Amino acid sequence: MDAALLIHGGATWAMAGVLIMVQIVVYPAMALVPPTAFRRYERAYQRAMARALATIAPIEAATAIWLIVVPGEVPIWMSLAGGAMLGGLWLVTAIVFVPIHTALGAGFDAPLQQRLVATNWIRTIGWIIRGLIVAAMFAAVG
């Protein structure tokens, strides 16, 4: 089995795990942070997530590109589908979620936090689907 696929699978499922944890635990718990501490909390959250994803996200992206550019045993349509989905998820992150976190950095806003929880299901489900695509890649190469 291709090392790039193994690394890609690990990075993709790591991202899915992060999104599941954030969706179920972190984002809902934001509503419990006292308003006087929320700005500091949100900034700390953003720094910690940036550090946590600084390795996983680039590895996932680089190996997704590798599986497209250097086709191996993985059917190219699977690599293209997974890569397109990854690009879409990062686009949604940039367009929707970065502005929400930027706004929350100025202070707690209950409707915005609720919007974050509700709309983040897009990314959570998206990364789970990416994980299933990777599982299908593993199955395809045996």
Dig out the tokens for 99 from the structure: 């502005």
Average pLDDT along the chain: 96
pLDDT tens for each residue of 58-99:
999 999 999 999 978 999 999 999 999 999 999 999 999 999
Which pTM was predicted? 0.92
Q: Say if residue 55's pLDDT is above 80.
A: yes
DSSP symbols for 23-84: IIIIHHHGGGS-HHHHHHHHHHHHHHHHHHHHHHHHHHHHHHHHHHHS--SS-HHHHHHHHH
Residue 142 confidence (pLDDT) above 90: no
4-24: pLDDT as tens digits? 999 999 999 999 999 999 999
